[in-house]
């Protein structure tokens, strides 16, 4: 629960509303305890007709309603409100530490059936979901959120083949370092380094069923959608965006700010660069080139 004035202060604005808000909601479901947002005129009409207690709107929105709070980006402000309200209500959550030996600082939450191995470091305010595995090689910063079933710090996939045809595991004994504010989706797997480390940069967000191999270095504020597969020893720059099912071979380098379209693929050892440049296809090429190829094949089909 927060007062309208506390929320306004959080967003750097002010309000005359005297009310306590407990949650965010869609306008259709709102009652007087709710914060809603309106990003365009149509949404504004719906929100004004709702019972919401506080309405986040754009600075240029036309309304005299006292519940209206003008901000730069209503959608962003709405997400910030949800985050803050969540922090306030967190004491209601289950607080359970799986093993006394873990270095769990402050107010971390470890849910049922999660396993945090001895030696693992879990920072302040982390949330470890049900059935998550955190191996002992993991060094986690603060406010890391890990959803159910994720596996952090498993051994990587590196083998050496003997003369007899049988494979022997190359030593997989490095660390997995996860910086502050990283969020990791359900059933995602991130392997520890072989001899060095695997690192996930601050603020990076990872969806469900993503695989990140050993010795990868993922930058800050990277967005990785579901089912992406990143082979070992890749380097991903800050602010990269990867859509669903993208696949990278090993030792790939993706420069800062690159955008990889859904299901695109990059062959081992390749480098893609270009801030804001979108790549598509297998092998991935700049969007313009990709679309030219699609059009050419289509024309070819129709020509006979």
Which among 270, 268, 246 has a CA at the least distance from the CA of 259? Answer: 246
Stretch that binds its own copies, among 9-17, 19-27, 48-56, 270-278 (CB under 8 A): 19-27
Half-sphere CA count of 75, side-chain side, radius 13 A = 3
**115: contact with its own copies by CB under 8 A:** yes
Residues in 243-262 at the binding interface with its own copies, rule: CB under 8 A: 243-245, 247, 249, 262
Should residue 49 be labelled a site residue for its own copies when binding is judged by CB under 8 A?
A: no
Where does this chain touch its own copies (CB under 8 A) — which range of 14-22, 43-51, 61-69, 178-186?
Answer: 178-186
For its own copies, which is the closer residue by CB, 62 or 166? 166
Please say which residue, 66 or 186, places its beta carbon nearer to its own copies.
Answer: 186
Establish whether 214 is a catalytic residue: yes
**Stretch touching its own copies by CB under 8 A, among 7-15, 44-52, 58-66, 239-247:** 239-247
Residues in the chain: 304
DSSP code per residue over the chain? -EEHHHHHHHTT-------EE-EE--GGG--TTEEEEESSHHHHHHHHTS--SEEEEETT-----TTEEEES-HHHHHHHHHHHHHHHGGGGS----S-TTSEE-TT-EE-TT-EE-TT-EE-TT-EE-TT-EE-TTEEE-SS-EE-TT-EEEE----EEE-TTS-EEEPP---EEEE-TT-EE-TT-EEEPPSSSEEEE-TT-EE-TT-EE-TT-EE-TT-EE-TT-EE-TT-EE-TT-EE-TT-EE-TT-EE-TT-EE-TT-EE-TT-EE--TT-EEETTTTEEHHHHHHHHHHHHHHHHT-
Interaction residues for its own copies, span 116-175 (CB under 8 A): 117, 129-133, 135, 147-149, 151, 154-155, 157, 159-163, 165-171, 173
Please state the closest distance from residue 213 (CB atom) to its own copies, in A.
7
CB of residue 14 vs its own copies: minimum separation in angstroms? 20
Q: Total number of residues binding its own copies (CB under 8 A)? A: 92
Residue 23: phi and psi, rounded to 5, are: -165, 170
195 binds its own copies (CB under 8 A): yes
Q: Which residue has the tokens 């081992």?
A: 268
Nearest CB to its own copies, comparing residues 2 and 151 = 151
Of 47, 207, 215, 237, which one interacts with its own copies (CB under 8 A)?
207
Nearer to its own copies, 73 or 107 (CB): 73
The least CB distance from residue 127 to its own copies, in Å, is 10
Q: Does 215 bind its own copies (CB under 8 A)?
A: no
The answer to whether residue 29 forms part of the interface with its own copies (CB under 8 A) is: yes
Report the C-alpha gap between 65 and 31 in whole angstroms. 16
| Position among 19, 107, 229, 256 found at the interface with its own copies (CB under 8 A) | 229
Verify binding: residue 13, its own copies, rule CB under 8 A: no
Catalytic residue among 111, 211, 214, 251: 214
Name the residue nearer to its own copies (CB basis): 244 or 274.
244
Cα separation of 174 and 199, whole Å? 11
Determine which residue in the list 211, 251, 274, 278 makes contact with its own copies, applying CB under 8 A.
211
Q: Which residues, 66 to 95, sit near its own copies by CB under 8 A?
A: 72-73, 75-76, 78-80, 82-83
Q: State the catalytic residues.
A: 214
């Amino acid at each position: 629960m927060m007062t309208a004035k506390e929320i306004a202060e959080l967003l750097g604005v002010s309000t005359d509303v005297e009310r306590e808000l407990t949650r965010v909601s869609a306008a259709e479901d709102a009652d007087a305890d709710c914060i809603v947002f309106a990003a365009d005129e149509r949404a504004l009409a719906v929100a004004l007709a709702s019972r919401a207690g506080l309405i986040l709107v754009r600075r240029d929105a036309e309304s005299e309603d006292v519940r209206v709070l003008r901000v730069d980006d209503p959608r962003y402000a709405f997400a910030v409100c949800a985050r803050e309200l969540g922090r306030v209500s967190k004491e209601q959550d289950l607080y359970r530490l799986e093993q006394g030996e873990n270095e769990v600082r402050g107010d971390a939450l470890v849910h049922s059936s999660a396993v945090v191995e001895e030696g693992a470091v879990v920072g302040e305010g982390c949330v470890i979901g049900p059935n998550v595995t955190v191996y002992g090689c993991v060094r986690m910063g603060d406010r890391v959120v890990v959803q159910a079933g994720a596996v952090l710090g498993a051994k990587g996939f590196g083998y050496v083949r003997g003369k007899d045809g049988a494979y022997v595991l190359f030593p997989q004994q490095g660390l997995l370092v996860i910086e502050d504010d990283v969020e990791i989706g359900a059933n995602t797997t991130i392997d520890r380094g072989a001899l060095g480390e695997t690192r996930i940069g601050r603020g990076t967000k990872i969806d469900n069923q993503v695989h990140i191999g050993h010795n990868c270095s993922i930058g800050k504020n990277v967005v990785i959608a579901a089912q992406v597969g990143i082979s070992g020893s890749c380097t991903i720059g800050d602010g990269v965006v990867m859509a669903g099912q993208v696949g990278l071979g090993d030792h790939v380098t993706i420069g800062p700010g690159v955008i990889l379209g859904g299901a695109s693929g990059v062959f081992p050892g390749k480098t893609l660069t270009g801030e804001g440049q979108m790549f598509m296809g297998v092998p991935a090429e700049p969007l313009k080139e990709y679309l030219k190829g699609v059009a050419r094949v289509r024309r070819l089909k129709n020509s006979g």
